[in-house]
Structure 1
Amino acid sequence: MIGAIMRRKADLPAKTCPTCSRPFRWRRKWARCWEEVRYCSERCRREAHRSARAGRQA
């Protein structure tokens, strides 16, 4: 890790998941698409789509 900048987790940007309302922090895999990231996990993303679909059918 020569040349890598070490950061504390508290210094990373954070967002709140609209499905579970929990805060989540930036991850390296989201470096290129952080602006588009809305959910903390695949499970929350699926739940949001499932509940939206159920709301339309009712």
Structure 2
Amino acid sequence: MPKHKTKSDLPQKPCVLCSRPFTWRRKWARVWDEVKYCSDRCRSDARRQTIGHEQQSPQTTGISRGQTSR
């Protein structure tokens, strides 16, 4: 009978957002290379941050509110 793997034997990698290490899960077996975040919270926070940056793009182009580019 084969030995069971303990949690410490499973691969780990750090979360892109919070840098906490998280462990491989069976449901991630096919997409382990694509998994970036340790939780739904980190994934949704990352989306909020990217959406916030997209909304600020007119300010970074030098056009303030109320002005139009000519």
> Does the TM-score normalized on the shorter chain lie above 0.5?
yes
1:43 aligns with: 41
TM-score by length of 2: 0.71
Over 3 Å counting, the alpha-carbon distance change for 1:4 and 1:36 in structure 2 is farther
Cα deviations across residues 15-56 of structure 1 (Å, max 9, x unaligned)?
Answer: 100111100000011011111111111111110010011012
Select the structure of larger CA radius of gyration. Answer: 2
Percent identical across equivalent pairs?
54
Distance in 1 between residues matched to 2:2 and 2:27, nearest whole Å: 16
Distance in 1 between residues matched to 2:3 and 2:34, nearest whole Å: 24
Q: Is 2:14 the counterpart of 1:16? A: yes
Residue 5 of structure 1 deviates from its aligned partner by 4.8
**Larger RCO (CA within 8 A; separation ≥ 6):** 1
Count how many residue pairs are aligned between Structure 1 and Structure 2: 56
Distance in 1 between residues matched to 2:44 and 2:34, nearest whole Å: 16
Divergent runs of 4+, >3 A = none
Q: Is 2:48 the counterpart of 1:56? A: no
TM-score by length of 1: 0.83
